[in-house]
Amino acid sequence: MKTIILKGRPAFGGIAGGEALVCPDSIAGNTGSLGETDGIIYEHGNPNRGKCIKDTILVLPCAKGSCGWSCHFKSAKINGNAPAGWVVTIIDSRIGVAIASLEKPAVCDFAEADPVKIIKTGDWVKIDGSTGIVEITPK
Amino acid sequence: MVNLTEFEQKMLNGQAGEFKQKALQFIVNYADVLGAKDLCEISRATLFIGAQHYLEGFTTDDYNEIFSKFYLNSDKPIPIGQFDESCAVQTCVAACVTRDFATVHLSKEFFDKNNNFYAITREAGASEVHTCTPYFSGWIPLPGEHFVTTESSNVLLCNSVFGACGNADGIEAAVCSAICGRTPRWGLHIKAERYGNVVFTIQCPSQTSFDWDVIGYTIGRFLPRAGKPVIAGNFKRPDIKKLRQCFSSLATSSNAEICHVVGITPEARTVDDALGGKEPAAYFAITQKDYEDTRRLVCDPGSGPVDFVSIGCPHLAIEEIRDIARYLQGKKVKQGVELWIWTTKSNQALADYNGFTKTIEESGAHLLDSSCPICMKHEAHKHAKAMVLSGIKQAKGLRAQTAATVYCGETLTCIDAAILGRWEAPA
């Protein structure tokens, strides 16, 4: 299968690879929407409800909901359930804190193509947080 | 890499101690993630700290260790020093009440742990205020003042109504900002980023607080990414309590951080003023159908028996407690139903003084402080079979925590449900 390349702004350095977990309407930041210790999405209406963020490349348009957004991801990391990296269409302050706090590679701010529309859950995604290059191998 | 002043560079080099060094290092990393060019000084902070549930994965109760690892990104425990002395630092909503912990089904052990954590941060300079509506107890940033807050509705209210400058920075960054007194100069800290770009014309009811709760959630449903809404149209003029509801639900369905209300908020004297003279990216009308769609999304259908009613998301103003006390005068909450009314610690003290608490308690309801069912999490509400909630944010948040039926509506409708022990679907 042909690899697709996207280019975004390098936001946090390092290289990471993993299966994509694409949340077209993001993940709510309110307490209980993401499991504090197990990293499982519990938000009603989220197409990935019941899936764990561990070792995935999280593909999100932006954040939504509580200012506490980042702390649920941080808690998941402390309990061994961190995502491997982030691909974010347009960065916002909530996601910015989470990226800084989890210290995982991240590529953000895609001007030409929206990764949320191009990447599918289960695709293999490799990101370089120092160059902004995202390589997608469809499943 | 972000540019630092000489003062900031010295702090980053450790000359103000390791506590401030680590905090500033986090803010510098955060600024680089955002792509910020420099930092700005903050003078106000509210912090969602204490024994919050995001800490439940820690096996230790050593708060120094927890604080270092969670907020400062340091595996090495660093002694907790002082928050920035020129910053008004106070606590956001808590995971436990400050009294009556048995009423809300929490343990003495958790109550004590929460108090112990707060005692440490109080020593460090964070006043215990414990609220999501800090403006009801005097925490009000002026126009142009830079703040951090961990309450999403407060981000919207301070930016939009007070004309102050802040982003939805999240807990780790807000804590670090309150320690080092700096935040990235990015987003809403820059005037050019504050203009609205999506216009919403209100064509649905806008009389009540619940109407504004629905309006906020609906705007969030339609708001495009990076959208900054401008509310226009022939709406009924809202007060601060209605905007509180609007902004709390807007921040539930979107990542909005500023929302201009034409003719009300200071950067929106006119639509043009709010847009900075530019064409908006999109126009939406919020119709009666949109209103009904949102109501169906946040409130389960039909009527039925209820056993759990919670009012006050976000925390209530003193005049709302007065109105509830008057409404409950001479009435009784149905046996087997819990009616919880949430406010700030300061307003609870005022309600005690004014006799409102006594009237409320005589009805069988409870006036509670400092927390809410979402923040207390399962332990406080796991027994509930059918819930009635006055705030859409509370309804949406609890839906992720419970299998109970969830109804949502206007405050007095919710109180009627507690008295009748039954939710009647609105006509």
In a domain, B166, yes or no: yes
Report the alpha-carbon distance of residue B120 to residue A57 in Å, rounded: 37
Contact A134, A126 (CB under 8 A): yes
Closest CA–CA distance from residue B398 to any residue of chain A (Å): 8
B251 touching chain A per CB within 8 A: yes
My answer on whether B183 and B330 are in the same domain is no
Side-chain-side CA neighbours of residue B180 (13 Å) = 35
Q: What is the pLDDT of residues B232-290, one digit of tens each?
A: 998 999 999 999 999 999 999 988 999 999 999 999 999 999 999 999 999 999 999 99
Q: What is the pLDDT of residues A66-75, one digit of tens each?
A: 888 999 999 9
Cβ-based neighbours of B65, under 8 Å, separated by 6 or more: B58, B77
Distance between start and end Cα atoms, chain A: 8
In a domain, B409, yes or no: yes
Nearest by CB to residue B151, choosing from A28, A67, A72, is A67
What's the rounded mean pLDDT across residues B388-398? 95
Q: How many domains is chain B partitioned into structurally?
A: 3
My answer on whether B14 and B154 are in the same domain is yes
In a domain, B1, yes or no: no
Q: B119: phi > 0 → left, psi -120 to 50 → alpha, else beta; which?
A: alpha
Domains of chain A and CATH, by start: 4-137 (3.50.30.10)
My answer on whether B89 and B227 are in the same domain is no
Closest CA–CA distance from residue B309 to any residue of chain A (Å): 19
pTM of the model: 0.95
Report the alpha-carbon distance of residue B396 to residue B403 in Å, rounded: 12
My answer on whether B162 and B34 are in the same domain is yes
Report the alpha-carbon distance of residue A93 to residue B172 in Å, rounded: 12
Catalytic residue, chosen from A33, A66, A101, A130, is A66
Report the alpha-carbon distance of residue B226 to residue B167 in Å, rounded: 13
My answer on whether B34 and B109 are in the same domain is yes
Nearest CA in chain B to A73: B54
Nearest by CB to residue B53, choosing from A36, A61, A93, is A36
Torsion of CA B222, B160, B175, B186, to 10 degrees: 80
B398 neighbourhood in chain A, CB within 8 Å: 32
My answer on whether B169 and B235 are in the same domain is no
Q: Supply the CATH number for residue B311's domain.
A: 3.30.499.10
A89 neighbourhood in chain B, CB within 8 Å: 225
Q: Look at B168 and A92 and tell me if their CB atoms are within 8 Å.
A: yes
What's the rounded mean pLDDT across residues B310-325? 98
Write out residues 155-214 of B within 8 Å (CB-CB) of A: 155, 167-174, 186-187
Please return the burial class of B365, using the count of CB atoms within 10 Å of its CB with bins 0-12, 13-18 and 19+.
buried
Q: Is the pLDDT of residue A28 over 90?
A: no
Q: What is the pLDDT of residues A117-137, one digit of tens each?
A: 999 999 999 999 999 999 999
What is the span of the domain harbouring residue B386? 299-423
> What φ, ψ does residue A52 adopt, rounded to 5°?
-100, 145
Q: Look at A37 and B56 and tell me if their CB atoms are within 8 Å.
A: yes
User: Strand, helix or coil at B175?
Assistant: helix
Per-residue pLDDT at A45 = 85
Closest CA–CA distance from residue A89 to any residue of chain B (Å): 9
> pLDDT class for B400, splitting at 50, 70, 90?
confident
Please return the burial class of B336, using the count of CB atoms within 10 Å of its CB with bins 0-12, 13-18 and 19+.
exposed
Average pLDDT, chain B: 96
Q: Are strands B282-286 and B198-202 parallel, antiparallel or unpaired?
A: parallel
* Token pair belonging to A28: 């709510």
> pLDDT class for A4, splitting at 50, 70, 90?
very high
In a domain, B204, yes or no: yes
CA B386 to chain centroid:
24
User: Strand, helix or coil at B189?
Assistant: helix
Report the alpha-carbon distance of residue B260 to residue B92 in Å, rounded: 24
Last residue of a domain, one of B190, B208, B234: B190
Q: Is the pLDDT of residue A1 over 80?
A: no
My answer on whether B180 and B115 are in the same domain is yes
What's the rounded mean pLDDT across residues B221-228? 91
My answer on whether B256 and B233 are in the same domain is yes
Cβ-based neighbours of B290, under 8 Å, separated by 6 or more: B204, B218, B221, B222
Cβ-based neighbours of B11, under 8 Å, separated by 6 or more: B20, B21, B24, B180
In a domain, B48, yes or no: yes
Last residue of a domain, one of B190, B220, B243: B190
How many helices, marked H, and strands, marked E, lie in chain B? 17, 16
Nearest by CB to residue A100, choosing from B29, B168, B220, is B29
What crossing angle do the helices spanning B63-71 and B18-34 adopt, rounded to 10°?
Answer: 30
Write out residues 30-49 of B within 8 Å (CB-CB) of A: 30, 32-35, 48
Nearest CA in chain B to A40: B400
In a domain, B273, yes or no: yes
Per-residue pLDDT at A33 = 83
Per-residue pLDDT at B7 = 98
Report the alpha-carbon distance of residue A83 to residue B75 in Å, rounded: 19
Segment among A20-34, B65-79, B381-395 with least mean pLDDT: A20-34
My answer on whether B248 and B331 are in the same domain is no
Closest CA–CA distance from residue A74 to any residue of chain B (Å): 7
* Token pair belonging to A50: 């019941």
| Residue of higher predicted confidence among A27 and B82 | B82
Q: What is the pLDDT of residues B41-89, one digit of tens each?
A: 999 999 999 999 899 889 999 999 999 999 999 999 999 999 999 999 9
State the sign of the Cα–Cα–Cα–Cα dihedral B43, B31, B225, A17: negative
Report the alpha-carbon distance of residue B343 to residue B325 in Å, rounded: 13
User: Strand, helix or coil at B260?
Assistant: strand
My answer on whether B210 and B243 are in the same domain is yes
In a domain, B49, yes or no: yes
Per-residue pLDDT at A47 = 92
What's the rounded mean pLDDT across residues B215-244? 95
In a domain, B389, yes or no: yes
Q: Look at A9 and B35 and tell me if their CB atoms are within 8 Å.
A: yes
Segment among A26-30, B139-143, B283-287 with least mean pLDDT: A26-30
Nearest CA in chain A to B59: A79
Report the alpha-carbon distance of residue B256 to residue B395 in Å, rounded: 19
What's the rounded mean pLDDT across residues B337-365? 97
Cβ-based neighbours of B253, under 8 Å, separated by 6 or more: A64, B216, B217, B218, B219, B220, B221, B223, B396
My answer on whether B337 and B261 are in the same domain is no
My answer on whether B317 and B351 are in the same domain is yes
Contact A69, A98 (CB under 8 A): yes
Last residue of a domain, one of B267, B296, B325: B296
Per-residue pLDDT at B170 = 87
Report the alpha-carbon distance of residue A48 to residue A36 in Å, rounded: 16
A65 neighbourhood in chain B, CB within 8 Å: 152, 251-252, 255
Q: Look at A69 and B170 and tell me if their CB atoms are within 8 Å.
A: yes
Per-residue pLDDT at A64 = 85
Nearest by CB to residue B400, choosing from A30, A89, A108, is A30
Longest dimension (CA), chain B: 66
Q: Is the pLDDT of residue B4 over 90?
A: yes
Q: What is the 3-state secondary structure (H, E, C) of chain A?
A: CCCEEEECEEEECCEEEEEEEECCCCCECCCCCECCCCCEECCCCCCCCCCECCCCEEEECCCECCCCHHHHHHHHHHCCCCCCEEEECCCCHHHHHHHHHHCCCEEECCCCCCHHHHCCCCCEEEEECCCCEEEEECC
Q: What is the pLDDT of residues B78-117, one digit of tens each?
A: 999 999 999 999 999 999 999 989 999 999 999 999 999 9
Segment among B178-182, B358-362, B393-397 with least mean pLDDT: B393-397
What's the rounded mean pLDDT across residues B418-424? 98
The DSSP output letter for B95 is: S
A90 neighbourhood in chain B, CB within 8 Å: 225-226
A66 part of the active site:
yes
Per-residue pLDDT at B15 = 98
Nearest by CB to residue A67, choosing from B149, B186, B375, is B149
